[in-house]
Structure 1
């Protein structure tokens, strides 16, 4: 599928890629110029009219966020809520489920650190049981073990991270969704690293909650994200523990009425942030998520193939399905020297340590890794440049 924008237009909309070899879209990507301009124009208007009046006159622009995000996920706008981050959205979802002491949450050994910390906190405070699905020897999620745990322990929630932050592994979100539907379990999918990188169809994945962030592969501003909630969630009447004024109407001194749709999960302050995120999601829709995924595959094939041929470097991404996160380790060179070489070559990257993925680091026997995450505005020549830089470093 062809993008509606040419490679030259994409590069022109991303001036930061002219000054660096940017490979950190899994951390915080480069915002396209239309996103920056939309936020600047909105903020400039706020200096003239104030935030409340601008919110009133720009309702259509704010509402575009729900329409564009619904289009991206193949759902309807009433299933979308703005959030300050994927973590914030996760907390809202967790607070909506009426957990009781002894209930079970089923997750994986690859789940995002903030999610794991939340589960451990709930374990201490609420007395829930936390169980983790095993991996197969190649790193894939063991779906047989997942079904066995669901049958045996009847968890209230299954929560997985689609693409772990510390690995290129892609977990089988659709297959997990089928299991959750079969056994009637609430299903939370953390799509922070997959939204904007891969096609996501909630009709196929069947999550009850899907959380995502704006700053990564969606190329939106920081402090933005969203929450998708299913019809099942809304029909069951689930709502967050702490309800903000956008989420409900105070009808009587001792009663309130929730928003009918997903916006019952929203915070009050969203205007400027949602405008930036709406523009970012709209830009991804304009480029085309299938075109984005195809270009990403080309980039990663070139980068992985080049790096795996170098002596002295160990690629750390397991599993049969891999994404636009590439992680590696150099056993015979100090991390400080590697970081210096990459920065001297103008590479923007991320270094991660065990605190971000304790279980995965332990089983891989490492104490640090470097993560490279190109995106569709990068070029094949840039992938070759990174490989050449690493080859020179390893001599």
Structure 2
């Protein structure tokens, strides 16, 4: 045991940690290497059980087992009776949340830092019990937006607020004391996930103000796997009723009556791994001996150094948010899969892990990161470990750059010609920091344009006013439809380009982005002919039933069958576009609204709160905010509210291909559209009409009336689809003739607009990205005249 000191003796910690001899270990956030004494404690108790029996060994170890509660309480600033020993943080979380007995309609506010198991537990309760899970927005520094939390708490009763002190997906440190203060003000329980912080940061539950806390033993505590802690404040614990009481946490008093134990012990189970609990006690004793403040200082220093040194390695992108701190550092190598980098590091004796977006979807997917590499240090890491990590990354990225195909350098900028006072002409070239293009708005069309411009070797920067992957526009959500069926042949060449573009993007991204399902597009009797297209055929209602037996059309209806229709994996497509754009040299600026732009000679100056970007071309793909940057279009674009819903009872076997493909139907309420069950969430149904909205006001969740309307549509078209499950709200930006606006802005050389709007634009993203790149490079695209902003006086839809 190390005696209490003001600073950590790293050499001593390495001497008592045998695992450091096997490599350079940076996975304390996953499972830290235990100290020799902790391992010896576990083994000694197992040997005692083998010698005298499990019950007898537990009786003999009872004083030491009781001491674990005291050690855990000391680490948290709590009382021993407020501590339950559990098998994992997830086990503690699920028992605590179940004991809250949340009711239908109860609101739970969850931070984007929430761990996958916590999020899945809440989403299951939302789907099956009817609670409402509201995911809190982040502030620009990456932590919970405290103003948004304040508004949410004031807007109505809240049953629970939850956040991860430090997430699994980055080095972010949430402002937990300020979250706790807001919750205390409103009398709302605050559940803190301290899985990644206990043993790394100083924790005091009284100062933080959390009512519940869960953590694990295997991470920064350096305890055994299979151990965890649950803290329940004395003020709240007595109000909680465990859903499945156990003989350890309750007493059976009468034939049909029982009472639960006081305090947090009510959450425990009789059966427990006593050897592991004693090992947890040994690890907690180590933390107390070293001193939590000294450990926190040491780990913060290591994390800061790793973050700084990795950011200086060419080819490495540190992706921690500004509010990061402590020992966890996340990074990526654009253009190289995280798993490949992890394996190459392991081959060099450097061990860390990757975190996929599926383990932190509210965070990583929202930041368009399919996975990150996570390095997490502990007290046993020294200078040699850090050097090994940084040098290994330098070697890996250098080799990757040598192996990568060479991207041609952009052509030398055209000269700027000035006429001097003496009549002679002077030639000057743009300064090196002049960009070839700035793309404003990084939804699907902005990303497609950014990718295409970077792929062609141009110096380009994309600017996004919100966080990447936000849900304030039209590009979020899991899936989109693609079809060849369109009402007029003028669309056919662009449709062909779109299909070719998705195939190329799939190849470049090494992933399949489009699944062919076929499509049925139906209209009632008396409606004029609608869609047509290459390879499509007209069907009666009976014919449609043979093609898609899950879809019910009444007698007299007709339909168009498009065998080439399918479903785009929208989330994967957005990630691929951005990843390939960055790999080709594009720069990205998120959470940075464009305040305005102006001409400066032959160049355009784009102003944001943090920069003045000089560029030769400006491409505005800002959706409902186009009018604020290009006022001439403000009266032509109307943002409307659109609601989509999933029907989980409409399962893949009954409502997926081949029984159901993509579909739409002209109904009195509007055009209903749907995507078959493919991903386990059921059929997705929407209606492409809704009220006009202010894009600057965050969308409210779908109302009961909106969901009831979609349930009625599902009952008519898909018998047996059942009730609505999850729902999402998005915006369509509509033009009067429902056609896109794509092309140069009249009277503004070098300025282009792309509003691929009116609800059917996602499918065209690769084609329109290529078209906009052509226009930026001065190549005419007469084939897009029917979408040109110059045709706004026309009102006949095509």
Equivalent position to 2:132, from 129, 133, 154: 129
Corresponding residue for residue 575 of structure 2: none
Cα deviation per residue 1:80-115 (whole Å; 9 max; x = unaligned)?
Answer: 110100000001101111211111111012210000
Provide the rounded CA distance (Å) in 2 between the counterparts of 1:143 and 1:229: 24
Equivalent position to 1:263, from 258, 262, 265: 265
Corresponding residue for residue 216 of structure 2: 213
Provide the secondary structure at the position in 2 that maps to 1:27. Answer: helix
Matches within 5 A, 1:1-395: 2-3=5-6, 6-236=9-239, 238-270=240-272, 271-395=274-398
**Conserved? CA contact 1:195–1:212, under 8 Å:** yes
Please report how far the alpha carbon of residue 5 of structure 1 lies from its aligned counterpart in structure 2 after TM superposition.
6.5
Cα deviation per residue 1:309-353 (whole Å; 9 max; x = unaligned)?
Answer: 112111111032423111111113344542232012211111121
Provide the rounded CA distance (Å) in 2 between the counterparts of 1:164 and 1:302: 20
Please report how far the alpha carbon of residue 221 of structure 1 lies from its aligned counterpart in structure 2 after TM superposition.
0.7
Cα deviation per residue 1:348-393 (whole Å; 9 max; x = unaligned)?
Answer: 1111212111232223222221111011111123112211111122
Please report how far the alpha carbon of residue 252 of structure 1 lies from its aligned counterpart in structure 2 after TM superposition.
1.5
- With a CA cutoff of 8 Å and minimum separation of 6, indicate the structure with the bigger relative contact order: 1
Provide the rounded CA distance (Å) in 1 between the counterparts of 2:259 and 2:265: 12
Q: Rg larger in 1 or in 2?
A: 2
Provide the rounded CA distance (Å) in 1 between the counterparts of 2:156 and 2:322: 26
Please report how far the alpha carbon of residue 3 of structure 1 lies from its aligned counterpart in structure 2 after TM superposition.
4.8
Report which stretch shifted further, 99-108 or 265-274: 265-274
**Conserved? CA contact 1:326–1:371, under 8 Å:** yes
**Conserved? CA contact 2:164–2:193, under 8 Å:** yes
Provide the rounded CA distance (Å) in 1 between the counterparts of 2:133 and 2:266: 28
Corresponding residue for residue 555 of structure 2: none
Closer, same or farther in 2 for the Cα pair 1:121/1:269, shift >3 Å? same
Cα deviation per residue 1:47-75 (whole Å; 9 max; x = unaligned)?
Answer: 01111111111100111110101111112
**Conserved? CA contact 1:141–1:172, under 8 Å:** yes
Please report how far the alpha carbon of residue 289 of structure 1 lies from its aligned counterpart in structure 2 after TM superposition.
0.8
Provide the rounded CA distance (Å) in 1 between the counterparts of 2:95 and 2:393: 43
Provide the rounded CA distance (Å) in 1 between the counterparts of 2:167 and 2:206: 22
Provide the secondary structure at the position in 2 that maps to 1:180. Answer: helix
**Conserved? CA contact 1:24–1:350, under 8 Å:** yes
Provide the rounded CA distance (Å) in 2 between the counterparts of 1:379 and 1:104: 46
Aligned residue pairs, count: 394
**Conserved? CA contact 2:300–2:325, under 8 Å:** no
- Bigger proportion of residues as helix: 1
**Conserved? CA contact 1:5–1:286, under 8 Å:** no
Provide the rounded CA distance (Å) in 2 between the counterparts of 1:221 and 1:130: 33
Closer, same or farther in 2 for the Cα pair 1:241/1:336, shift >3 Å? closer
Provide the rounded CA distance (Å) in 2 between the counterparts of 1:380 and 1:265: 43
**Conserved? CA contact 1:24–1:348, under 8 Å:** yes
Please report how far the alpha carbon of residue 231 of structure 1 lies from its aligned counterpart in structure 2 after TM superposition.
1.7
Provide the secondary structure at the position in 2 that maps to 1:210. Answer: strand
Please report how far the alpha carbon of residue 273 of structure 1 lies from its aligned counterpart in structure 2 after TM superposition.
2.3
Please report how far the alpha carbon of residue 141 of structure 1 lies from its aligned counterpart in structure 2 after TM superposition.
1.5
**Conserved? CA contact 1:224–1:273, under 8 Å:** yes
Please report how far the alpha carbon of residue 168 of structure 1 lies from its aligned counterpart in structure 2 after TM superposition.
0.6
**Conserved? CA contact 2:8–2:294, under 8 Å:** no
Report which stretch shifted further, 6-15 or 55-64: 6-15
**Conserved? CA contact 1:4–1:286, under 8 Å:** no
Provide the secondary structure at the position in 1 that maps to 2:38. Answer: helix
Provide the secondary structure at the position in 1 that maps to 2:31. Answer: coil
Closer, same or farther in 2 for the Cα pair 1:334/1:241, shift >3 Å? closer
What do you get for the CA RMSD once the two structures are aligned?
Answer: 1.5
Provide the rounded CA distance (Å) in 1 between the counterparts of 2:363 and 2:261: 40
Give the TM-score taking structure 2 as reference length: 0.48
**Conserved? CA contact 1:245–1:268, under 8 Å:** yes
Give the TM-score taking structure 1 as reference length: 0.96
